[in-house]
Amino acid sequence: MKTWNRIGGLLIVSLLTITAAFGQTKTNDKELSVEESYLQESIEQMVIREQARADSRDMKLVALEYIGDAIKGGRTNQEIQKTLEYLALEGIVYQAREGGVGRLINNYPDVRAKAAQYLGELGTKEAKDVLVKMVLSDPEPMVLTEAVKSLGKIGINDNDEVTTAISWIVTRFDILNPDNILALSALEAYEKLAEKNGGIKDPSAVRTIIRIAEGNYIRPVQARARETLNTLRKYTAQQNSKTGGQK
């Protein structure tokens, strides 16, 4: 079975290499026609999809490299979105076990962390929804850190959904095992969300920031928490000033 997986992986990589070479040659001769461009993109999507669903962790990481190239090249679409969602939740929502009931065999935190990063680069509402699921379900700090960073980068916070999710996971770790890197990523996300939404009105976010400032964290993280509180106060003051000026 492993031999066939390796053979399948080699075929997929070969196909992508041939496709890329074909595309380069055609570009040198003339601009790609609509049909040629569509065919090349369709093959790329197929290769990425099959790599992402292979058993091999290495193949999944290669798929993520190609997804990164596609995002940089502006070749994002629903198929890329679905593949990233699968990789981001594999091992947590999409589980495979030995014999169907034994040891989990598709738990790859580094793959999920990279998928979280690329979801942030996609920047869509659908990407935000997947990242919120990750924050609420993934147990790995390295994955959660990337998911929180990406949520801040996207900046969508309808009905305080994102700030509430971030506050929940930081508080959960604060009670069990405070994580400085996760706390710092949360503070940075709060600041970006405040910048993109004219402040934060979610009380749970403020409580979480105070918790970090006064909690069992290294001094630089505590200091950053106090800075974040001051930043949020400035947004509140600006809003109060605008409201007062309109009266």
- Residue 149 belongs to some domain of the structure: no
The answer to whether 87 and 60 have CB atoms below 8 angstroms apart is yes
pLDDT band at 63 (very low <50, low <70, confident <90, very high): very high
pLDDT at 178: 96
CA 72 to CA 94: how far, in whole Å? 27
Domain coverage including residue 232: 155-240
pLDDT at 158: 96
pLDDT digits (tens, 9 = 90+) for 173-192: 999 999 999 999 999 999 99
Same domain, yes or no: 122 and 204: no
Q: Which two tokens stand for residue 135?
A: 């924050």
pLDDT digits (tens, 9 = 90+) for 106-138: 999 999 999 999 999 999 999 999 999 999 999
pLDDT digits (tens, 9 = 90+) for 210-237: 999 999 999 999 999 999 999 999 998 8
- Residue 71 belongs to some domain of the structure: yes
Same domain, yes or no: 46 and 139: yes
CA 184 to CA 145: how far, in whole Å? 9
Which residues 6+ apart lie within 8 Å of 94 measured at CB?
86, 106
Q: How many CB atoms lie within 10 A of CB 187?
A: 26
CA 223 to CA 126: how far, in whole Å? 34
What is the tally of structural domains in the chain?
Answer: 2
Average pLDDT, the chain: 87
Same domain, yes or no: 221 and 159: yes
- Residue 22 belongs to some domain of the structure: no
Tell me how long the chain is: 247
